[in-house]
Every structure is written in structure tokens, then in C-alpha cells.
């Protein structure tokens, strides 16, 4: 039998890209992840390596200098990178989402302005929906953009921006006065250009600093505070206000496939660590892998890894085909994140007391896996999306 999480039907180019990324992960990420993570150090050298490989332009069309690859290729690359260190996958995740939103919804001028530099990694993207009191209720956004004679003025506070300090282009969802009855139709996405760094980076725009997290170290997570920040009307994504919710939800569908892929990557690594350790660690005269209790754990872990991978691949392929994939992306994100937490914990149990030591990689994975249960929508939100989709597709005729 082949190794876990293999994908049938890939092109030669996809296989070549994945082989290159896998080698990069094994040589440049895994050997350094522990030191960088424990020091909460931004992986600058790793990011430069990804830029040289062209990964920042992976899904950007060739006409803008990118590789023009599919969401499936992107998801499989993310899976491999997360297998090495989830924080590195976070560096490119928000970048890909903003690039996707620009590619699908940007004006021709916006595409020409940003996509070539994004493909080269010169412009790095982040996006922001959440706020301190918002949670999952996106329609309740309070940050507001008020239209004036020369553009808009934004006031409010955004929360949980991955790459908030190291990005220089942020897609920000805010409230505008469209006069629509439905709250989500009064939301607009602005493309905010800013310098990298912290503090007041522009007049009226402050990035307070990094939020200290349990895991997901290295990559910066920040707030974004607007206080009379002025921005031109041509920085509205797509050039038309009131479309922001639709634009963001399209991006989040990509993000949910990404989170599923990250969960698969961590689960794969947790399984690799467990099966290697279980063949080396001996008790009662034999390797612990030969004890039925451990062997059954490995069997269950491998089955969960395989199931999550297949659902993630299916969701990516549906999106690539142009079909609606909100239900499938929700299912993939739900299953992959829950299974990731379970597989990681079983690997931790197999490691016994050593798993609690910072010397062992599984300790880091135990702090990273929980993030995926809430990133891009909690499991409860995924269940809401899935159930609504099912009721839509199985509408009663009675």
C-alpha cells in the first residue's frame, strides 16, 4: 500500500510541484520548526524560499506572472507545508485568499495593479472580517466607512488578522450606508495598502502589535484599528460598494478548503511521528506497535487521515469545476479539523510522558491543532452551513 493521503489523477506538473514542496518541507521547514516556534520567530528564510519557488503566485493566472494552478494544487501544497509547520501555511493562506478575491471580483485596474506583485511575493495579502465583539455574526460588523467628497473615512476595530503586521495589502470588510434592508447587503470590502510593521503605520491606521497565542507561533496575528482613516473609492474591491459579504464568502470557501488541508497536514505529521515512535519504543520485550492497543490506535488514526484528505480533495475539485461547494467545503473543514484534533491527541498518548516534553514535536502539534477547530468558522458554524445546504437540496415536496 502507498503512503497515506495520496491523490489520484494529478497532472505531471502537479506531481512535480508537490515533489518540490515536499522536499523543501523535509529539508527547510521540519528541521527548523521547533526552534522557530519556541522562539515565536517569524520564518523569514523559509518565506524567502517560498518566494523563490513561486509559491506566492501559485494560483494567480499566468498573464499576471503567476503559475495559474488550481485550488486543488494549492490545497495539496498547503497540506504539505502544514505537515512541516502550520504557521508557514498561515503565511500564504491569507495571501491566497486575497489573490482569489482579486482574481474573481477585482476590477481590471485592481488586477493589473496588485496581482503581478502578489505573484512575485512583493505584495503580501491579509484579510479581515472579525471584530472584538463580533464572533461568527459577520452581518453585525460595526467598523464603518462613511462616504465623503473625496472618498471614504473608516472608523472601528478589526481583530484576528493573520499576517496583520507582515502584510502590505489587507482586504477589510466594513459597513457602508447602502440603504439595504438586509444587513449583509450593507457591507463593502476595501483594499487597504499599508506598510509592514506595528504602531501607527499610516495616519488613522494602527497595528497595535502581535497577539500572544497558545500555538500558531511565528506567524503574526494582530488587531487593526481605524481612527479617521481616509481611503479612495477606487480601493473598493470590484469598484461597487455593498458587495463585500459576497466577495468575502467566496474567499472564505477557499479558506475552508485551506483549513481542511492544514488539518490534514498536521494529522499526517502526527501519524508519522506516532508510527515511527511506536516502532522504536519498547515495553514488555517488544515494540509498542506490536501491542494490540497501540496497533488499533494507528489503524484508526490512518483511517481518519485518509478520510479527511479525500473530503478535502473533493471540496477543492468542486470549487475548481465552478460548482457551488459551500456544503462540501464545510464538511471537509468540519471533519478534517475534528479528526486532526483526535489524531494528534492519539499520537500524544502513544508518546506517553515524552509527548509532554517540548523536546518532542508532538507537543507543538498539540498546541496547533485546536486552532483549526475555530479558524474560518467553528465546527458549529460548519454544521449550520451544512444543514442549510442539505435542507435546500432536499426540500420537502409535502
Instruction: Indicate which residues carry an active-site annotation.
Output: 376
Q: How many residues are recorded in the chain?
A: 398
Question: All 3 cell numbers of residue 29?
Answer: 521547514
Question: All 3 cell numbers of residue 332?
Answer: 471537509
What is the distance of C-alpha 184 from the center of its chain?
23
The angle formed by the CA atoms of residues 132, 136 and 141, to the nearest 5 degrees, is 55
Residues 29 and 85 sit within 8 Å (Cβ to Cβ): yes
- Taking CA atoms, 22 is separated from 46, 57, 78, 200, in Å, by 13, 18, 10, 39
DSSP state of 43: -
Closest CA to 118 of 128, 110, 130, 108: 110
Question: All 3 cell numbers of residue 252?
Answer: 472564505
**For residues 169 and 373, what is the distance between their CA atoms, to the nearest angstrom?**
27
Q: Name the 3-class secondary structure at 156.
A: strand
What count of other Cβ atoms lies within 10 Å of the Cβ of residue 390? 11
Cell 459597513 appears where? 175
Measured on CA atoms in the order 347, 87, 379, 363, is the torsion positive or negative? Answer: positive
Residues 6+ apart with CB under 8 A from 305: 4, 5, 264, 267, 268, 271, 339, 343
Amino acid at each position: 500500500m502507498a503512503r497515506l493521503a495520496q491523490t489520484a489523477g494529478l497532472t505531471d506538473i502537479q506531481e512535480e510541484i508537490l515533489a518540490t514542496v515536499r522536499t523543501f518541507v523535509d529539508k527547510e521547514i521540519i528541521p527548523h520548526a521547533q526552534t522557530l516556534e519556541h522562539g515565536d520567530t517569524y520564518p523569514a528564510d523559509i518565506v524567502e524560499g517560498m518566494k523563490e519557488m513561486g509559491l506566492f503566485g501559485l494560483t494567480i493566472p499566468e498573464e499576471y506572472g503567476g503559475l495559474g494552478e488550481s485550488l486543488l494544487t494549492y490545497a495539496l501544497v498547503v497540506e504539505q507545508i502544514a505537515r512541516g509547520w502550520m504557521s508557514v501555511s498561515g503565511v500564504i493562506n491569507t495571501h491566497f485568499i486575497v489573490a482569489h478575491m482579486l482574481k474573481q471580483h477585482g476590477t481590471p485596474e485592481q488586477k493589473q495593479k496588485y496581482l503581478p506583485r502578489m505573484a512575485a511575493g512583493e505584495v503580501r495579502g491579509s484579510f479581515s472580517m472579525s471584530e472584538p465583539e463580533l464572533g461568527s455574526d459577520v452581518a453585525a460588523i460595526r467598523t464603518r466607512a462613511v462616504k465623503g467628497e473625496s472618498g471614504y473615512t473608516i472608523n472601528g476595530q478589526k481583530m484576528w488578522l493573520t499576517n496583520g503586521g507582515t502584510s502590505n495589502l489587507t482586504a477589510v470588510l466594513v459597513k457602508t450606508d447602502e440603504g439595504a434592508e438586509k444587513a449583509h447587503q450593507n457591507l463593502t470590502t476595501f483594499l487597504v495598502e499599508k506598510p509592514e510593521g506595528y504602531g501607527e503605520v499610516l495616519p488613522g491606521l494602527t497595528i497595535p502589535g502581535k497577539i500572544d497565542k497558545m500555538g500558531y507561533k511565528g506567524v503574526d496575528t494582530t488587531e487593526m484599528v481605524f481612527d479617521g482613516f481616509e481611503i479612495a473609492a477606487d480601493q473598493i474591491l470590484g469598484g461597487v460598494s455593498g458587495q463585500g459579504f459576497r466577495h468575502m464568502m467566496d474567499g472564505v470557501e477557499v479558506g475552508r478548503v485551506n483549513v481542511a488541508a492544514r488539518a490534514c497536514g498536521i494529522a499526517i505529521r502526527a501519524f508519522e511521528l506516532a508510527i515511527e515512535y511506536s516502532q522504536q519504543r519498547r515495553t514488555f520485550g517488544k515494540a509498542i506497535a506490536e501491542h494490540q492497543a497501540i496497533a488499533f490506535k494507528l489503524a484508526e488514526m490512518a483511517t481518519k487521515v485518509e478520510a479527511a484528505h479525500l473530503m478535502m480533495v473533493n471540496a477543492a475539485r468542486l470549487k475548481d469545476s465552478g460548482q457551488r461547494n459551500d456544503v462540501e467545503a464545510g464538511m471537509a473543514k468540519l471533519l478534517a479539523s475534528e479528526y486532526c484534533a483526535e489524531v494528534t491527541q492519539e499520537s500524544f498518548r502513544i508518546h506517553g510522558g515524552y509527548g509532554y516534553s517540548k523536546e518532542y514535536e508532538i507537543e507543538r502539534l498539540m498546541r496547533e491543532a485546536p486552532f483549526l477547530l475555530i479558524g474560518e468558522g467553528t465546527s458549529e458554524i460548519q454544521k449550520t452551513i451544512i444543514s442549510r445546504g442539505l435542507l435546500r437540496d432536499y426540500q420537502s415536496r409535502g
